[in-house]
Amino acid sequence: MGMPLELNTMIVTKGREKRIEENLFVLEKEGYRLYPIDIPIDVRKTIESDTSGSAVIKKVEWQESRTWLTYQLISLNSTN
């Protein structure tokens, strides 16, 4: 039996994102996850937290029960 695919409608970083260019990030998530590609979606640090901005996912990779997201931050909400 393979891992079930989980559909995600926002990016939850838990502070684990890695910056690879000015507004391009990579995030590794547990399990195999589906994300909408090429449309703006919410970015949050936790599921409960306020939106920290919007991003467009450029690439999703699945390997060894993990999902890697490459996404571009397109807007940032200022946090106090």
Encoded tokens for 48 = 């409960």
CA 55 to chain centre: 8
Which residues form the domain of 59?
A: 6-76
Number of domains in the chain: 1
Asked if the structure places residue 1 within a domain, the reply is: no
Asked if the structure places residue 72 within a domain, the reply is: yes
pTM of the model: 0.87
Decide if 73 contacts 23 (C-beta within 8 A).
yes
d(CA 32, CA 65): 6
Q: What DSSP character marks residue 21? A: S
Residue with tokens 């890697």: 68
pLDDT of the chain, 80 residues: tens digit per residue: 566 788 999 999 999 999 999 999 999 999 999 999 989 999 999 999 999 999 999 999 999 999 999 999 999 887 54
CATH code, domain carrying 49: 2.40.240.20
Encoded tokens for 73 = 């931050």
Residue with tokens 């909400």: 77
